Protein backbone atom coordinates (compact mmCIF):
# COMPACT_ATOMS: atom_id res chain seq x y z
CA UNK A 1 0.00 0.00 0.00
CA UNK A 2 1.41 3.38 -1.04
CA UNK A 3 1.17 6.47 1.12
CA UNK A 4 0.90 9.97 -0.34
CA UNK A 5 3.85 12.05 0.87
CA UNK A 6 2.87 15.27 -0.91
CA UNK A 7 4.70 17.30 -3.58
CA UNK A 8 8.19 17.03 -2.12
CA UNK A 9 11.65 16.97 -3.68
CA UNK A 10 12.36 13.35 -2.84
CA UNK A 11 14.25 11.30 -5.41
CA UNK A 12 16.79 8.58 -4.63
CA UNK A 13 19.70 8.69 -5.16
CA UNK A 14 20.81 12.32 -5.45
CA UNK A 15 24.46 13.30 -5.87
CA UNK A 16 26.60 15.48 -3.61
CA UNK A 17 28.05 17.99 -6.08
CA UNK A 18 30.75 20.32 -4.77
CA UNK A 19 30.59 23.33 -7.07
CA UNK A 20 33.87 25.23 -7.47
CA UNK A 21 33.99 28.86 -8.60
CA UNK A 22 36.06 32.02 -8.38
CA UNK A 23 34.56 35.28 -7.21
CA UNK A 24 35.39 38.57 -8.95
CA UNK A 25 38.51 38.98 -6.78
CA UNK A 26 39.67 35.52 -7.80
CA UNK A 27 39.01 33.95 -4.40
CA UNK A 28 38.16 30.25 -4.79
CA UNK A 29 34.91 29.00 -3.28
CA UNK A 30 33.05 25.71 -3.04
CA UNK A 31 29.47 24.86 -2.13
CA UNK A 32 27.61 21.57 -2.03
CA UNK A 33 24.48 21.13 -4.13
CA UNK A 34 22.26 18.10 -4.64
CA UNK A 35 19.99 19.37 -7.42
CA UNK A 36 21.83 18.33 -10.55
CA UNK A 37 23.13 15.62 -12.83
CA UNK A 38 23.97 14.77 -16.41
CA UNK A 39 21.40 16.21 -18.84
CA UNK A 40 22.77 15.53 -22.35
CA UNK A 41 25.21 13.11 -23.97
CA UNK A 42 26.16 15.27 -26.97
CA UNK A 43 27.34 17.87 -26.23
CA UNK A 44 28.16 16.30 -22.87
CA UNK A 45 26.32 18.50 -20.38
CA UNK A 46 25.59 18.62 -16.68
CA UNK A 47 23.12 20.70 -14.69
CA UNK A 48 23.30 22.20 -11.26
CA UNK A 49 20.47 24.25 -9.76
CA UNK A 50 21.21 26.99 -7.23
CA UNK A 51 19.33 29.64 -5.30
CA UNK A 52 20.10 33.22 -6.25
CA UNK A 53 21.08 33.94 -2.64
CA UNK A 54 24.18 31.75 -2.88
CA UNK A 55 27.67 33.15 -3.37
CA UNK A 56 28.22 30.58 -6.11
CA UNK A 57 25.24 31.86 -8.12
CA UNK A 58 26.89 35.24 -8.70
CA UNK A 59 30.25 33.61 -9.37
CA UNK A 60 28.87 31.38 -12.14
CA UNK A 61 26.97 34.30 -13.68
CA UNK A 62 30.18 36.34 -13.80
CA UNK A 63 32.79 33.72 -14.68
CA UNK A 64 30.60 31.58 -16.99
CA UNK A 65 32.38 28.55 -15.60
CA UNK A 66 32.35 26.08 -12.72
CA UNK A 67 33.72 22.74 -11.70
CA UNK A 68 32.01 19.84 -9.96
CA UNK A 69 34.23 17.97 -7.52
CA UNK A 70 32.80 14.63 -6.44
CA UNK A 71 33.69 13.75 -2.85
CA UNK A 72 34.56 10.27 -1.69
CA UNK A 73 32.75 9.09 1.44
CA UNK A 74 35.67 9.83 3.72
CA UNK A 75 35.05 13.52 3.05
CA UNK A 76 31.34 13.48 3.91
CA UNK A 77 31.77 15.90 6.86
CA UNK A 78 33.52 18.51 4.74
CA UNK A 79 30.93 17.98 2.00
CA UNK A 80 28.13 18.72 4.46
CA UNK A 81 30.02 21.74 5.84
CA UNK A 82 30.41 23.13 2.29
CA UNK A 83 26.62 23.18 2.05
CA UNK A 84 26.03 24.82 5.44
CA UNK A 85 28.18 27.95 5.38
CA UNK A 86 28.45 30.64 2.73
CA UNK A 87 31.56 31.78 0.90
CA UNK A 88 30.41 35.28 1.79
CA UNK A 89 31.35 34.55 5.40
CA UNK A 90 33.98 31.84 5.28
CA UNK A 91 37.01 30.81 3.23
CA UNK A 92 36.01 27.16 2.98
CA UNK A 93 39.30 26.03 1.44
CA UNK A 94 41.25 27.56 4.35
CA UNK A 95 38.94 26.18 7.00
CA UNK A 96 39.17 22.61 5.70
CA UNK A 97 42.77 22.69 4.49
CA UNK A 98 41.76 21.45 1.03
CA UNK A 99 43.71 22.54 -2.02
CA UNK A 100 42.07 24.80 -4.63
CA UNK A 101 43.45 23.64 -7.99
CA UNK A 102 43.04 26.05 -10.88
CA UNK A 103 41.46 24.39 -13.92
CA UNK A 104 43.52 24.77 -17.08
CA UNK A 105 40.33 24.71 -19.18
CA UNK A 106 37.88 27.04 -17.42
CA UNK A 107 38.15 29.89 -14.95
CA UNK A 108 37.20 27.85 -11.89
CA UNK A 109 38.96 25.89 -9.15
CA UNK A 110 38.38 22.32 -8.03
CA UNK A 111 39.13 20.40 -4.84
CA UNK A 112 42.48 18.69 -5.34
CA UNK A 113 41.78 16.03 -2.71
CA UNK A 114 38.50 14.85 -4.26
CA UNK A 115 38.70 11.81 -6.58
CA UNK A 116 36.61 12.94 -9.56
CA UNK A 117 36.24 16.37 -11.18
CA UNK A 118 34.17 17.80 -14.05
CA UNK A 119 35.30 21.07 -15.66
CA UNK A 120 32.37 22.98 -17.14
CA UNK A 121 31.78 26.00 -19.31
CA UNK A 122 28.39 27.65 -18.84
CA UNK A 123 26.08 27.01 -21.82
CA UNK A 124 22.60 27.94 -20.60
CA UNK A 125 20.89 29.55 -17.62
CA UNK A 126 17.29 28.64 -17.01
CA UNK A 127 15.02 30.21 -14.38
CA UNK A 128 12.66 27.63 -12.90
CA UNK A 129 11.48 29.10 -9.59
CA UNK A 130 13.37 29.31 -6.31
CA UNK A 131 16.23 27.63 -8.14
CA UNK A 132 18.07 28.67 -11.29
CA UNK A 133 19.34 25.84 -13.44
CA UNK A 134 22.82 26.20 -14.90
CA UNK A 135 23.69 23.91 -17.79
CA UNK A 136 27.40 23.45 -18.32
CA UNK A 137 29.27 21.74 -21.11
CA UNK A 138 31.66 19.16 -19.70
CA UNK A 139 35.05 20.06 -21.20
CA UNK A 140 37.00 17.42 -19.34
CA UNK A 141 36.65 14.85 -16.59
CA UNK A 142 39.63 14.25 -14.34
CA UNK A 143 40.05 11.36 -11.94
CA UNK A 144 42.70 10.08 -9.59
CA UNK A 145 44.92 7.72 -11.55
CA UNK A 146 44.68 4.90 -9.01
CA UNK A 147 40.86 4.82 -9.25
CA UNK A 148 40.77 3.96 -12.94
CA UNK A 149 39.68 0.53 -14.11
CA UNK A 150 41.35 -1.48 -16.86
CA UNK A 151 39.16 0.40 -19.37
CA UNK A 152 40.70 3.71 -18.33
CA UNK A 153 37.46 4.94 -16.77
CA UNK A 154 36.96 5.74 -13.09
CA UNK A 155 35.57 2.76 -11.17
CA UNK A 156 32.60 3.87 -9.02
CA UNK A 157 33.42 1.15 -6.52
CA UNK A 158 36.84 2.73 -6.00
CA UNK A 159 35.68 6.36 -6.15
CA UNK A 160 33.20 5.61 -3.32
CA UNK A 161 31.03 8.68 -3.93
CA UNK A 162 28.65 10.11 -1.34
CA UNK A 163 25.00 9.26 -2.04
CA UNK A 164 22.51 11.84 -0.81
CA UNK A 165 18.92 11.16 0.19
CA UNK A 166 16.84 14.34 0.03
CA UNK A 167 13.75 14.67 2.23
CA UNK A 168 15.10 13.16 5.40
CA UNK A 169 18.53 14.49 4.44
CA UNK A 170 20.87 11.58 4.90
CA UNK A 171 24.18 10.55 3.39
CA UNK A 172 25.02 6.97 2.47
CA UNK A 173 27.99 5.27 0.89
CA UNK A 174 27.63 3.00 -2.09
CA UNK A 175 27.19 -0.67 -1.43
CA UNK A 176 27.39 -3.89 -3.37
CA UNK A 177 27.96 -4.14 -7.11
CA UNK A 178 24.66 -5.32 -8.60
CA UNK A 179 25.57 -5.83 -12.26
CA UNK A 180 26.59 -4.30 -15.55
CA UNK A 181 24.22 -1.98 -17.41
CA UNK A 182 22.94 -2.95 -20.85
CA UNK A 183 23.75 -6.50 -19.87
CA UNK A 184 21.90 -7.93 -16.85
CA UNK A 185 18.57 -6.91 -18.43
CA UNK A 186 19.15 -9.72 -20.94
CA UNK A 187 18.39 -12.14 -18.11
CA UNK A 188 14.71 -11.15 -18.36
CA UNK A 189 13.04 -14.15 -20.00
CA UNK A 190 11.33 -12.18 -22.70
CA UNK A 191 14.45 -10.31 -23.75
CA UNK A 192 14.30 -10.45 -27.56
CA UNK A 193 16.83 -12.55 -29.43
CA UNK A 194 18.15 -9.88 -31.69
Query: Site residues for a copy of itself, window 45-104 (CB under 8 A)?
Result: 45-47, 49, 68, 70, 73, 76-85, 89-90, 95-96
* Residues 6 or more apart in contact with residue 20 via CB below 8 angstroms: 28, 29, 30, 66, 67, 68, 69, 100, 108, 109, 110, 111
Indicate the burial class of 114 (C-beta count within 10 angstroms; 0-12, 13-18, 19 or more).
Answer: buried
Tell me whether residue 24 or residue 98 sits nearer to a copy of itself (CB atom). 98
Q: Which stretch binds a copy of itself (CB under 8 A): 23-31, 52-60, 154-162?
A: 154-162
Tell me whether residue 24 or residue 128 sits nearer to a copy of itself (CB atom). 128
- The reply on whether position 129 binds a copy of itself by CB under 8 A is yes
Tell me whether residue 25 or residue 89 sits nearer to a copy of itself (CB atom). 89
- The reply on whether position 143 binds a copy of itself by CB under 8 A is yes
Residue 26 Cβ vs a copy of itself, minimum distance, rounded to whole Å: 22
For a copy of itself, the binding residue among 26, 43, 88, 99 (CB under 8 A) is 43
Short-list 166, 162, 144, CA closest to 153: 144
Residue 155 Cβ vs a copy of itself, minimum distance, rounded to whole Å: 7
Distance in angstroms (rounded) separating the CA atoms of residues 60 and 134 = 8
Spatial contact of 126 and 135, defined as CB atoms under 8 Å apart? yes
Residue count of the chain: 194
Amino acid sequence: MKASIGPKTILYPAPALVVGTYDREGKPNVMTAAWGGICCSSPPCVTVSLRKATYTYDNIREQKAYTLSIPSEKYVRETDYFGMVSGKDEDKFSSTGFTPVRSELVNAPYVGEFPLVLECGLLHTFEIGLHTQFIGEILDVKADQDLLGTDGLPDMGKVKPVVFGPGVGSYFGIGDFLGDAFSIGKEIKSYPNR
